[in-house]
Amino acid sequence: SARTEMQAALLSGEHRVRDSIEYLPEVADREGDLRRLIATFNGDRHVRAALLNTRGQSVAQSILSTPLHPTPDWFFSLLGVRPTASLIPIGRNVAAEAAIALATDPHNEVSEVWTEFRDGMVIVLVFCVLSFALIYWTAGRSLRPLETLSAGFRTIGTGDYATRVAESGPPEVEDLARAFNLMAERLGALQERNER
């Protein structure tokens, strides 16, 4: 998507320059008009324009807008979006300058992608932490009756058959607790009979 955005921005810049050059012979102050054309690219997020003389030196150059969020170098390298350039000749009989050079700068677009990626990762991380906390709480709450049941078995192991556990929790654990209480009751009755 970043490459597509760069291509679209370069194509749009080329159309703007070509349209302006087409009307250049009708303008009295051609050099001033060319400089104003370059200035229209000031603050552009994707394309930098430069007015070149016949020796290929930059006479006027636009200033790109700076990215709002700096992108880590590793992320920029990972995306691999490379700048592209275009050279549009003006015509010798129209102006003293030879051409207008347009070059894309993907830093703003990659910065936007980085922000979306970073925000997405934060959302995923928050979701994972909340899910883990919910699972931990639910599992702890579900297993609490099993701890009570386990303590009941330890007490019965010492010979105390009067122990009973609360019949609560998920249906399976509730069935286990009910069976435990029935077992404890029968063991208590057997012990009482044996003692008699």
Average pLDDT along the chain, 196 residues, taken 10 residues at a time: 89 91 74 87 92 86 86 87 88 68 90 90 96 90 80 88 83 86 90 89
Beta partners for residue 139, in sequence order = none
pLDDT of residue 47: 94
Q: How far apart are CA 64 and CA 48, in angstroms?
A: 6
Do 51 and 35 form a contact (C-beta atoms < 8 A)? yes
Compute how many other C-beta atoms are within 10 angstroms of the C-beta atom of residue 17: 24
pLDDT of residue 97: 64
* Burial classification of residue 146, based on how many CB atoms lie within 10 Å of its CB (0-12 exposed, 13-18 middle, 19 or more buried): middle
Beta partners for residue 104, in sequence order = 47
* Largest pairwise CA distance in the chain: 127
